[in-house]
Amino acid sequence: MANTQQRVTNITANATPTPAFNVSEYRTLTADVSGTFVATLQVQTSINGTTWRNITGSTSILNLITGAYLTSGNITGAGLYAIDVSSFQYVRLITTAFTSGTIVVETTTVTTGNLNPTGNSGTVAGTVTANQGTLVSGTAISVVTTASTNASSQKAAAGNLFEITASNPTATAAYVKIYNKASAPTVGTDVPVMTLPVPAGGFVSYVPGGQGKRLTTGIAMAVTAAMAATDTGVAVAGVQIHGTYI
C-alpha cells in the first residue's frame, strides 16, 4: 500500500502550480481549497512530470460539499474537492485567470475508493449471473461546525462508518468525536469511541478499510474544543466534516 502524500501550498500569483503528486498508486486526490481570492485552479496531469495537460470533463472533479461534479474541470472557489486520479501518473493544480487574494491549497492522496465507479467502460469475459447481491450505496455525512459542541445523530441504529474527513480552515484546533449511540450524545457525559484531532489550518482523514468501523447501537457525533472524552468546550465554527456510513 502506498504512503499518503500531504502538502499545503499558498498561492498569490497567476500560473503558479502546486507540487506535483506521483499518483500511480492512488485512486483519489483530495484538495481542500480555502482563502479569499479571485482566480481559477486548473487540474493538470502528466505522464512524465514535465509535459502537463489540462483535465476537463464533468466526471473528474467532485465537490464533496455540494455533491456535484464540476462541469468545466476548473475550481473557482473555496471548498473540498475529490479528483479521480486512477488513470494518471502525475497530477498538480495550477492558477489561471488570477486577479487577487491568497489561495491556500491542502492536498492529500487516498489509496482506496473510486470517485466514479460507474463511469468506466470495458469488456467482461465469462458468464455474469444476475441477483448475486445488492450493491449498497453509503449515506453521506456533511457537517459544518457552529460555535457549539455540535452534538448530532447520524444514524439511529447499528451501522458501519467507512470514512470520515475533517478540514479546518480556522486558526483554532477542533476535536471530532464519534459515539456508539442511537441518538445525539450528551456531551460531557457520554464517552466517544473515537476522537479525531483536527489541527488549525489542517486536514485529517480516517478510513478504517474492510467492512468499516462497526458501531452496534448507532452513529453519533460531536465536535468540541479539547481532546478529553468529557470535554464540553465550544468548538470553533467553520470546520468541514464529511464521511460515509451504511
% of the chain at pLDDT higher than 70: 82
Tell me the pLDDT tens digit for each residue of 136-164: 567 889 999 999 999 999 999 998 888 89
Q: What is the mean pLDDT of residues 15-28?
A: 85
Give the lowest-confidence range in 13-17, 27-31, 35-39, 189-193: 27-31
pLDDT of the residue at 20: 87
User: What's phi and psi for 17, nearest 5 deg?
Assistant: -90, 155
CA distances from 189 to 184, 186, 215, 231, 232 (A): 12, 6, 18, 9, 9
Tell me the pLDDT tens digit for each residue of 83-113: 877 778 888 889 988 999 999 988 877 655 4
Confirm if 107 and 22 have CB atoms less than 8 A apart.
Answer: no
pLDDT of the residue at 129: 52
Q: How many CB atoms lie under 10 A from the CB of residue 56? A: 14
pLDDT of the residue at 85: 78
> Of 197, 185, 186, 182, nearest to 228 (Cα)?
197
Q: What is the mean pLDDT of residues 109-130?
A: 51
CA distances from 165 to 128, 198, 200, 202 (A): 36, 9, 14, 11
Q: How many CB atoms lie under 10 A from the CB of residue 158? A: 13
Give the DSSP H or E segment for 44: strand 37-46
Q: Among all chains, which residue has been given the C-alpha cell 499518483?
A: 23
Give the DSSP H or E segment for 174: strand 174-180
Whole-number average pLDDT of the chain: 83
Confirm if 242 and 141 have CB atoms less than 8 A apart.
Answer: yes
pLDDT of the residue at 243: 87
Does the pLDDT of residue 121 top 50, yes or no?
no
Alpha-carbon dihedral sign for residues 55, 77, 245, 170: positive
Does the pLDDT of residue 29 top 90, yes or no?
no
CATH numbers and ranges of domains, the chain: 6-110 (2.60.120), 139-245 (2.60.120)
Give the lowest-confidence range in 14-23, 71-80, 119-128, 141-150: 119-128
Q: What is the mean pLDDT of residues 11-27?
A: 87
